[in-house]
Structure 1
Amino acid sequence: MRIATITTLIILALDQALKWAVVVGLNLREVMYIEVLPPYLNLTMAWNRGVNFGLFAADSVWLRVALVALALIVTGWVWFWVRREGARPLMQLALGFLAGGALGNAIDRITWGAVADFLNVTCCGWVNPWAFNVADIAIFIGAFGLILASGDKTPRDDRSGLR
């Protein structure tokens, strides 16, 4: 599980460093909007107090605690599952992305009370109303990677005697 641990730490460090650099260093939490490569890439401050896309958003301490607990429980469960499945390198890599992203967003909820989203990508005449962060990207890559990696396993022998 070395690959998973190293990948988790790299993604977590990258996510937190970028969040601090943008939110605090560039003071995005006060200026709220910075053009980077207009109209394609902009930094737009968005505090996500809910789940994906701000669903179920509330400024409740209990919701924040529940979302942090959920991130830890799901990360632990997936870690256990990957280990039980044989911890192949691709599965470990995907797990590292997923765990690093989930833990990065959980740290935001503990530190700031909400997840710091700031990347806004727009293209081809479509104006994207949502912002996201490195952790969100990592979670998506990790989940997709786990789906792909778990599909390459050969079925276990049928030990029931039926063929």
Structure 2
Amino acid sequence: MAAAGTRAARSSKRPSKAAGTTPWLWMAFALLVVMADQFLKLVIVRSFAYGESRPVTGFFNLVLVYNKGAAFSFLADAGGWQRWFFTGLGVVVGLFIIWLLYRHTGQRLFCLAVSLILGGAVGNVVDRVLYGHVVDFLDFYAGRYHWPAFNLADCAITVGAALLIVDELRRVRRQ
């Protein structure tokens, strides 16, 4: 009787797998994010001179700038070591996310969130490895205030982080 109770307790701790979802599906989605990010960066790099800006609306420009640091150019002037630090960090985070995808395949919102983060992280790691910096091209502003330029990979990471918060709030509410 105790063995049956222990088995039931153990099986209830395992994440359920939703029909038709696998870690490979989520990793393929992350790869689509990487491909879209790299494609857009390539279009911008081939169409713009460094620092060139083209207005699109009254609050948005396309621009070509490089970021050797992290978010908001954090550590951009650190002397070069940050390139490999942020590359290594991106690889470690990517491997951790792949592990999470295997552990939580049936949790669709969670997997969508971490897949977006994975795709964004890999997109920026590719830039760091190939160019030594991240290519940014989206410039939003209000009046004279400009938000620091960013890219599709950054958008994916931000949306993924927001979805993680929503997922956690939903899980807490269910309990």
* SS of the residue 1:111 aligns to: helix
Report the counterpart of residue 5 of structure 1 in structure 2.
27
Establish whether residue 117 from structure 1 lines up as the match of residue 139 from structure 2.
Answer: no
The one-letter code sitting in structure 2 at the alignment partner of 1:14 is A
Q: Provide the rounded CA distance (Å) in 1 between the counterparts of 2:165 and 2:103.
A: 16
TM-score normalised according to structure 2 size: 0.76
How many percent of aligned residue pairs carry the same amino acid? 29
> TM-score under structure 1 normalisation?
0.81
Is contact 2:26-2:115 (8 Å) kept?
Answer: yes
1:94 and 2:116 are equivalent in the alignment: no
* CA distances 1:28-67 after superposition (whole Å, capped 9, x unpaired): 33xx223232432212222111111111113644321111
The answer to whether the aligner puts 1:131 opposite 2:149 as a matched pair is yes
Which blocks of at least 5 consecutive residues in structure 2 are unaligned? 1-22
Please identify, of 56-65 and 8-17, the stretch whose mean Cα deviation from structure 2 is larger. 56-65
Tell me the residue number matched to 2:66: 47
1:87-115 CA distance string (max 9 Å, x none) = 41111111111001000011111111101
Distance in structure 2 (CA, Å) of the matches to 1:18 and 1:86: 29
Partners of 2:57 and 2:109 lie apart in 1 by 36
Aligned: 1:27 with 2:59:
no
Q: In structure 1, how many angstroms separate the alpha carbons of the residues matched to 2:28 and 2:105?
A: 18
Q: Which runs of 5+ in 1 are unaligned?
A: 156-163
What does residue 162 of structure 2 align with? 144
Aligned length, in residue pairs: 152
User: Cα RMSD between the aligned structures?
Assistant: 2.3
